[in-house]
Amino acid sequence: MVDVNERGFANLKIPIGPSHPALEEPARFLFEVEGEKVIDVDYEIGFNHRSIEMLCQERPFSKIVYLVERICGICSHAHPLNHVERVEDIADIEVPERAKYIRTIYAELERIHSHMLWAGIAGEEIGYHTLFMYTWREREKVLDLFEALSGNRVMHGCNRIGGVKWNISEEQARSALGALTYLDTAADKIAKAILKDGNIAERCKGVGSLSKEDAIRLGAVGPNARASGVPEDTRVMCKYAAYGDFDLEPQIAKDGDVVAQVLVRLAELKQSIWLTKELFANLPDGPIQAEYDGDVIPPGRSVGRVEAPRGELIHYVETNGTNFFERIKIRSPTLANIPSYVPKLIGCQVADIPIIAASIDPCFSCTDRMTVIKDGKRKVVSGRDLKAGRI
Amino acid sequence: MKRSFEDAVQVIQANHKGLNSYYRITLDNLDAALLFLKDEGARLSTITGKDARDHLEVLYHFAILGELHTVIVEASYEKPDVPTITNHFPAALLYERELIGLLGFNVLGIPDPRPLELPPKYTDPTPPLRRV
Q: What's the pLDDT tens digit per position in A42-74? A: 988 888 788 888 889 888 888 899 999 998 888
Residue range of the domain that includes B42: 3-108
pLDDT at A296: 77
B89: contact with A, CB 8 A cutoff: yes
Give CA A77 to chain center in angstroms. 10
Handedness of CA A77, A299, B129, B11 (dihedral sign): negative
Q: What mean pLDDT is predicted for residues A10-29?
A: 82
Which amino acid is it at A27?
A
Cβ distance B22 to A301 less than 8 Å, yes or no, reads: yes
Kindly state whether residue B46 falls inside one of the protein's structural domains.
yes
This complex has an ipTM of: 0.92
- Residues of chain A contacting B, Cβ within 8 Å: 45-46, 49, 51, 53-54, 89-90, 216-219, 232, 237-239, 300-305, 312, 314, 316, 318, 326-327, 329, 331, 335-336, 338-339, 368-369, 380, 382-384, 386-387
Kindly state whether residue B79 falls inside one of the protein's structural domains.
yes
In the 3-class helix/strand/coil scheme, how is B12-26 assigned residue by residue?
Answer: EEEECCCCEEEEEEC
Selected residues 44-83 of chain B with any CB under 8 Å from a CB in chain A: 44-46, 48, 50, 59, 61, 63, 65-66, 68, 70
Kindly state whether residue A372 falls inside one of the protein's structural domains.
no
Kindly state whether residue B114 falls inside one of the protein's structural domains.
no
Tally of domains in chain B? 1
Percent of chain B with pLDDT over 70: 86
pLDDT tops 70 at residue B16: no
pLDDT at B46: 96
Which amino acid is it at B113?
P
Instruction: List C-alpha distances in Å: A293 to A68, A91, A163, B53.
Output: 21, 10, 13, 28
Q: What mean pLDDT is predicted for residues A164-168?
A: 95
Kindly state whether residue B102 falls inside one of the protein's structural domains.
yes
Higher-confidence residue of B84 and A377: namely: B84
Residue range of the domain that includes A135: 52-367
- In whole numbers, what is the pLDDT of chain B averaged over residues? 88
pLDDT tops 50 at residue A391: no
Tally of domains in chain A? 1
To the nearest whole angstrom, how far is the Cα of B70 from the nearest Cα of chain A? 9
* Model confidence pLDDT, tens digit, residues A285-318: 999 999 887 777 899 999 999 999 999 999 999 9
pLDDT at A370: 47
* Residue B2: pLDDT band with limits 50, 70, 90: low
Higher-confidence residue of A276 and B120: namely: A276
Which among B43, B59, B126 has CB closest to A219?
Answer: B43
Q: What mean pLDDT is predicted for residues B105-124?
A: 87
- In whole numbers, what is the pLDDT of chain A averaged over residues? 89
Q: How far apart are CA A16 and CA A74, in angstroms?
A: 24
Instruction: List C-alpha distances in Å: A9 to A15, A38, A105, A213, A352.
Output: 18, 12, 54, 31, 20
* Model confidence pLDDT, tens digit, residues A200-241: 889 899 999 999 999 999 999 999 999 999 999 999 999 999
Q: Residues A299-330, buried b or exposed e (16+ Cβ, 10 A)?
A: ebbbbbbbbbbbbbbbbbbbbeeeeebbbbbb
* Model confidence pLDDT, tens digit, residues B27-50: 999 999 999 999 999 999 999 999
Kindly state whether residue B130 falls inside one of the protein's structural domains.
no
DSSP bridge pairs for A329: A316
Inter-chain CB pairs, A–B, below 8 Å = 99
Q: Residue B99: which CATH number? A: 3.30.460.80
Cβ distance A336 to B127 less than 8 Å, yes or no, reads: no
Smallest Cα–Cα separation from A161: which of A243, A93, A232? A93
Percent of chain A with pLDDT over 70: 92
pLDDT at B4: 65
Q: What value does the CA radius of gyration of chain B take, rounded to a whole number of Å? A: 15
Kindly state whether residue A376 falls inside one of the protein's structural domains.
no
Q: Residue A61: which CATH number? A: 1.10.645.10
Handedness of CA A229, A105, A172, A286 (dihedral sign): positive
Kindly state whether residue A252 falls inside one of the protein's structural domains.
yes
Kindly state whether residue B8 falls inside one of the protein's structural domains.
yes
Q: What value does the CA radius of gyration of chain A take, rounded to a whole number of Å? A: 22
Q: What is the dihedral of CA A101, A107, A110, A112, to 10 degrees?
A: -70
- Helix or strand run (H / E) with residue B74: strand B67-75
* Model confidence pLDDT, tens digit, residues A79-108: 999 999 999 999 989 999 999 999 999 999
pLDDT tops 80 at residue A380: no
pLDDT at A362: 82
Kindly state whether residue B128 falls inside one of the protein's structural domains.
no
Which among B91, B126, B128 has CB closest to A54?
Answer: B128
Smallest Cα–Cα separation from A26: which of A350, A262, A371? A371
Kindly state whether residue A254 falls inside one of the protein's structural domains.
yes
pLDDT tops 90 at residue A357: no
Kindly state whether residue A363 falls inside one of the protein's structural domains.
yes
DSSP state of A23: B
